[in-house]
C-alpha cells in the first residue's frame, strides 16, 4: 500500500476510510461496522470521522468497528467550529473519545473555520496533545490564507479534492507539498455519481480494466502527499478502493481527464461540501 508521511515521521496508508453518512440509519449499523473492519483487513487502517457525522453516530459506529483493534488504526476525528473554543474543544474531544471507545486520537481536526480565533483552537489542541489525548492536530476546509495564520505544528489539512473540484491545485496543494503537510482529500470519487459517469473517466477505466472510482482515486493519488478517504460499505467497492493505488495513469489518461475537467489557471474560492 502506498503511504504518506506526516511531519513527525509517522507513516499512514494513502488510502483510508471515510465515514460521512455512517451512523444515520440504525438498520445499517452492522453492515457499516463490518465494512470498516473489512477495510482494516485490506490495509485501509486510517479511519476518518467527526462529531458532525450523524451527530456522533458515525463515531459510535467506528467505536464498534475498532473495538479490540485500536492499535491497528490511525484514528482521525473533527471538532465542530462552534465547539472549538479553549474549553469547548476539550469537552468535544472527551465526548468523541467516549463514543469511539478510546483514550486518544491520532489526529484531531478543526472541521471548518468558525467564530473562535484559530490561535484559541490551536491552544486547546496543544493542551490536548500535552495531555496525551491527541497525538497531533490539523484543520479541514481551510484555504491558503488561513494556513498562513496557523502557528507551526499543523499536521494536515482536509479538503474537497477530485477532478470536479481541483481549484486547490493552483496554490493550496503546492504550498502543502512544499511544507510537507499532507492533504486529506474528502469525497475523492465525487458525490452523487456524476463524476463516475463522466465519459473521460469511464474511458480511462476501460483502458485499465478498472472501475471509475479507481480511476478517480488514482488521479488524486498521483499527487505527492495526498491521502484519499473514500467512504464505502459495499465489500466489492472496499476491495476496489484498496487496489486503486496500483493503477498508474498515463500522460494520455491524464490529458483526457483534463479535457473534461481543466486544471485551474487562476485562484478559485475553496470548494466545500
pLDDT for residue 1? 78
pLDDT along the chain (273 residues), means of 10: 91 97 96 98 98 98 97 97 98 98 98 96 98 98 97 96 97 97 97 90 97 97 97 96 96 98 96 94
pLDDT for residue 64? 98
DSSP state of 262: P
pLDDT for residue 54? 97
Q: Is 161 a catalytic residue?
A: no
What cell numbers appear for 56 in the block?
Answer: 456522533
Q: Say if residue 237 carries a ligand binding annotation.
A: no
Rounded Cα–Cα distance for residues 188 and 262 (Å): 17
Outline where DSSP puts E strands in 1-119.
3-5, 11-13, 17-18, 46-48, 74-79, 107-110
Architecture of domain 10-260: Alpha-Beta Barrel (3.20)
What cell numbers appear for 68 in the block?
Answer: 479490540
Quick one: how far is CA 127 from the chain centroid?
24
Report the predicted TM-score, pTM, of the whole model to 2 decimal places. 0.96
Rounded Cα–Cα distance for residues 106 and 104 (Å): 7
Amino acid at each position: 500500500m502506498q503511504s504518506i508521511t506526516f511531519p513527525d515521521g509517522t507513516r499512514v496508508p494513502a488510502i483510508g476510510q471515510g465515514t460521512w453518512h455512517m451512523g444515520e440509519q440504525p438498520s445499517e449499523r452492522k453492515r457499516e461496522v463490518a465494512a470498516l473492519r473489512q477495510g482494516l483487513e485490506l490495509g485501509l487502517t486510517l479511519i476518518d470521522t467527526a462529531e458532525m457525522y450523524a451527530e456522533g453516530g458515525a463515531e459510535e459506529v467506528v467505536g464498534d468497528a475498532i473495538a479490540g483493534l485500536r492499535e491497528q488504526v490511525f484514528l482521525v476525528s473533527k471538532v465542530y467550529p462552534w465547539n472549538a473554543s479553549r474549553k469547548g474543544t476539550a469537552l468535544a474531544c472527551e465526548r468523541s473519545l467516549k463514543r469511539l471507545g478510546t483514550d486518544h486520537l491520532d489526529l484531531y481536526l478543526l472541521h471548518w473555520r468558525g467564530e473562535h480565533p484559530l490561535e484559541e483552537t490551536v491552544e486547546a489542541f496543544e493542551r490536548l496533545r500535552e495531555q496525551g489525548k491527541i497525538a497531533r492536530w490539523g484543520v479541514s476546509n481551510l484555504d491558503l490564507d488561513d494556513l498562513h495564520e496557523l502557528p507551526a505544528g499543523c499536521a494536515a489539512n482536509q479538503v474537497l479534492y477530485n477532478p470536479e473540484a481541483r481549484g486547490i491545485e493552483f496554490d493550496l496543494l503546492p504550498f502543502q507539498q512544499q511544507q510537507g503537510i499532507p492533504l486529506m482529500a474528502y469525497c475523492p470519487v465525487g458525490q452523487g455519481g456524476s463524476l463516475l459517469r463522466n465519459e473521460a473517466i469511464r474511458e480511462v477505466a476501460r483502458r485499465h480494466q478498472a472501475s471509475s472510482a479507481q480511476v478517480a482515486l488514482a488521479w488524486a493519488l498521483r499527487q505527492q502527499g495526498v491521502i484519499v478517504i473514500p467512504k464505502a460499505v459495499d465489500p466489492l467497492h472496499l476491495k476496489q478502493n484498496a487496489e486503486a493505488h496500483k493503477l498508474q495513469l498515463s500522460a494520455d489518461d491524464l490529458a483526457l481527464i483534463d479535457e473534461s475537467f481543466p486544471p485551474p489557471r487562476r485562484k478559485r474560492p475553496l470548494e466545500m461540501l
